[in-house]
Amino acid sequence: MSMTATAGRAHADPHHIGVVIEHPGPAPKRIVTAYGFWVFLLSDIVMFSCFFAAYAVLVDQTAGGPRGSEIFEQRNVAIETVCLLLSSFTCGMAGIAADVRNRFWFYLGMAVTCLLGLIFLVIEFREFADLVARGYGPSRSAFLTAFFSLVGCHGLHVSAGVLWLLTMMAQVFAKGFRADILRRMMCFALFWHALDIIWVGVFSVVYLLGSGV
């Protein structure tokens, strides 16, 4: 059955400007996948925004415990930030390498990204361990609760990202640059860059604003 309708083309030109824009049909898979992943990232950012809001509400509730300025070490945070920003660059390099099907540069870019991510995680973990050892764990005060949750939530995302990165390398190693694997690689890159953007928020709201007071 030929599925054609004939109601005239009046409605394809809703504003009567003489330009008829017909919807061309379903988008290609690459677009659909990336679009869906963008929508997921937006939802993830909404979740982070709740933790940011909670931090803003609870930042002054120190309950006799330390304030941010007493526990933040700017040198560590600077190194963390450099690691993440550089890793975004190397992740971009890996993405380009995947697009041109260059295995060497792909593995190199991903390996460096992984390494920088791990350095970030080690520094963050040591910061957390140090605070807990000094008695400033998340149960000490509502401020520390919010701090550990917000920064820790980002850290968990980075950890998940590192695991995903390793499976991406394994997939390329085993299957090559197949179309579906390239689509996943694109999603991974979006995820990694989004974590960077959230880190910029964490860096500004938590560490920069916090250490000034």
The sign of the CA dihedral 136, 138, 142, 146 is positive
The 150-189 site mask, x for binding another protein (CB under 8 A), equals -------------x---x---x--xx----x---x-----
- Separation of CA 213 from chain center: 28
Q: Binders of another protein among 21-50, rule CB under 8 A? A: 21-27, 31-32, 35-36, 39-40, 42-44, 46-47, 50
58 binds another protein (CB under 8 A): yes
Which of 9/75 has CB closer to another protein?
A: 9
Angle at 135 between CA 131 and CA 141, to 5 degrees: 90
Which of 22/212 has CB closer to another protein?
A: 22
Alpha-carbon span 66 to 4, nearest angstrom: 71
DSSP for 186-202, written as a single string:
HHHHHHHHHHHHHHHHH
Residue 131: which residues within 8 A CB-CB, separation 6 or more? 71, 137, 144
129 binds another protein (CB under 8 A): no
The pair of three-digit structure tokens given for residue 172, joined into one six-digit string: 């390329």
Query: Which of these ranges, 2-10, 73-81, 108-116, 118-126, lies near another protein under the rule CB under 8 A?
Result: 2-10
CA atoms within 13 A on the CB side of 211: 13
Query: Which of these ranges, 68-76, 123-131, 132-140, 189-197, lies near another protein under the rule CB under 8 A?
Result: 132-140
- Residues forming contacts to another protein in the complex (CB under 8 A) are 1-12, 14, 21-27, 31-32, 35-36, 39-40, 42-44, 46-47, 50-51, 53-54, 57-58, 61-63, 138-143, 145-146, 148-149, 163, 167, 171, 174-175, 180, 184
